[in-house]
Amino acid sequence: MNTPKPQQPPPLNMPEMVIATVAGVAFGVKTGNYLTGIFVGVVLGVVLSLVGNRIRSRNKR
């Protein structure tokens, strides 16, 4: 009888989120436009997370 493989927890994206948050806050403080800084931080976080997940899955093979 086949036993199922234990599921691995999803990878943590903590470094990407920290980098994106710092970049978004820095952009918002430097330009004085905090809403744009939030947008930059969110978009940068999503992009870095996607790239990081792709790199991690490629290295897992």
Instruction: Measure Cα distances from 37 to 11, 24, 25, 49 in Å.
Output: 26, 5, 6, 18
Tell me: the pLDDT tens digits for 26-53? 999 999 999 999 999 999 999 999 998 8
Look over the chain and give the mean of its residue pLDDT values, rounded to a whole number: 87
What is the model's pLDDT at position 27?
96
What is the model's pLDDT at position 41?
95
Q: What is the pLDDT confidence band of residue 15, given thresholds at 50, 70 and 90?
A: confident
Neighbours of 34 (CB within 10 A): 13
What is the model's pLDDT at position 36?
95
Q: What is the DSSP string of 14-60?
A: HHHHHHHHHHHHHHHHHHS-HHHHHHHHHHHHHHHHHHHHHHHHHHH
* Residue 41 identity: G
